[in-house]
Amino acid sequence: MSQSASKHRPNVLLIVTDHWPGALLGVAGHPAIHTPTIDQLADNGTRFTRAYSEIPVCGPARRCIMTGTSPRAHGDRLFKFPPCTPMPPFPTLAQTFRNAGYQAFGVGKNDVFPQRSRIGFDDVLLDGEGRYESGIVDDYELFLGDEGFPGQQFMHGLSSNEYIWRPWHLPEHCHVTNWATNQMCRTIRRRDPQRPGFWYIGYRHPHPPLAPLREYLEMYRDIAIDDAFDGEWSRQGNEAALPVLIRDDRALHEPLSRENVRAIRRAFYALCTHVDHQIRLLIGTLHQEGILDNTIIVFTSDHGDMLGNHGLWAMSRFYEWSTNIPLIVQGVANCPRVGHHRTDGRLVALQDLMPTLLDLAGLEIPACATGQSMFGGARRRYLFGEIQEHQRATRMIRTERHKLIYYPAGNRTQLFDLQNDPDELRDLSASSPHSGIRDELMQTLISELYGNDLEWIKDGRLEGLPDYEVQPCVNRSLLNQRGTFWPPPVNPKARI
């Protein structure tokens, strides 16, 4: 494409957070969360209420975003880090925009391997989350060193995968959320004005460690924090009836008091609101540069976080707070396709982001994409979700009303009517009136299975795998607690 033809294309700003459940938005009706900026983006465009991470774990989910493909197509439903499954030979979202004459830059968390791989971007300013598996130079760590705090990002003493919390320990401008925002604002201001831009910012939070700025904790001091909830099937004392993977998850985290869960949620919400306010600076920069009206803005997350609901934490499960994500698109000014003050209830997934952005930019969608434009006429009848393999596997079929979750270990099935039970409080898998729905979704699930999943099927029926015994958890690493990083590690084999 000629430079004169490409420069009139819209810019694209893709904002991807980590661990943000779709329910945690003011515009979604949450009673405590403060997200004024994201709520305004929703009013300015379209919010997709049935948006899902088809594989709710960081690396494979972001691979769906960057390739426009399902886990089956891109080849990773395990997330071994490292070594990661090699990237498929598909054009990435960044490379496709670059091929069309765009400048493409990424800032923040990317979750690829090798960690400094640019996956089609002109350049990436990397937040590696304190990981040094491939002997990388981490741009955020370089920044902290320049500011006089080399190797101190984890001096708060918190793990990246646990749910203890405390206030941030360094000056406010050194927080990784501020760093990522400032770097993206500078990147936008340093753009080539003769070419459109594709800009990706990967915010690390609200993913633990839960070390929000003290000012944002203070903001939530007098706000009533909602309690975690349990379903009829997930209440404490019902352990023996739970799928073995859920028993395993619960064994990893000690039961917490109601007050402790509220305090954790307060810290998590503080991280969310901090991100929300920093997005205002991105919008302000686009406005000051005179390009806001010609920029498509997307806000989403790679997956959610259970935050104590059903006695569970983190992600990797197909319950709503783990797999349902926020997905908001603000189009260019006066875009009739995106519109404003719209909600859309079609089933959409992370693999749809690439086709959607290319469609709105007027660019060709690669033939390898399995996703579809969220502003096209196609509408899914169901969405297939998958994560892990063998006894650690879970699979999902989500229709617009129902959700079936399948655990091959123990051959366990759960069925929820999300229209009448959005919090998944009642498992209907043993309900006689729902047997027809269950059997239909089970057959749909069987039709989607492939690879070693086929071992679960006998004579056309799912028989799964034997249960296994849950062992007491020995958490020697404190769920991958980082240490000090000064001097930074140089041997990639000496990894966490």
Does the pLDDT value for residue 81 go beyond 60? yes
User: Which amino acid is present at 37?
Assistant: T
Return the CATH fold of 10-381.
Alkaline Phosphatase, subunit A (3.40.720)
Comparing C-alpha atoms, which of 101, 17, 9, 131 is closest to residue 65?
17
Measured between alpha carbons, how far is 304 from 422 in angstroms, rounded to an integer?
15
The pLDDT tens digits for 29-78 are: 999 999 999 999 999 999 999 999 999 999 999 999 999 999 999 999 98
Comparing C-alpha atoms, which of 299, 300, 496, 303 is closest to residue 387?
303
Measured between alpha carbons, how far is 97 from 91 in angstroms, rounded to an integer?
10
Measured between alpha carbons, how far is 417 from 402 in angstroms, rounded to an integer?
5
- Give the burial class of 467: count Cβ atoms within 10 A of its Cβ; 0-12 exposed, 13-18 middle, 19 or more buried: middle
Give pTM, 2 decimals.
0.96
Q: Up-side HSE of residue 317: CA atoms within 13 Å toward CB?
A: 26
Q: Which residue has the tokens 């089933």?
A: 347
**CB-based contacts of 168: which residues, under 8 Å, 6+ apart?**
156, 175, 211, 212, 213, 214
Does the pLDDT value for residue 336 go beyond 70? yes
Give the pair of three-digit tokens for residue 118: 């640019």
Alpha-helical regions (H) of 129-236: 139-146, 176-189, 214-219
Give the pair of three-digit tokens for residue 202: 């990967």
Does the pLDDT value for residue 230 go beyond 90? yes
Residue count of the chain: 496
Give the pair of three-digit tokens for residue 436: 């027809």
Comparing C-alpha atoms, which of 306, 300, 323, 308 is closest to residue 418?
323
What mean pLDDT is predicted for residues 418-432?
A: 98
Residue 99: strand, helix, or coil: helix
User: Which amino acid is present at 307?
Assistant: L
- Domain boundaries of the chain, sorted by first residue: 10-381
Q: How confident is the model at residue 491 (pLDDT cuts 50, 70, 90)?
A: low
The pLDDT tens digits for 375-423 are: 999 999 999 999 999 999 999 999 999 999 999 999 999 999 999 999 9
Q: Is the Cβ–Cβ distance between 423 and 417 less than 8 Å?
A: no
For residue 217, what pLDDT is reported? 98
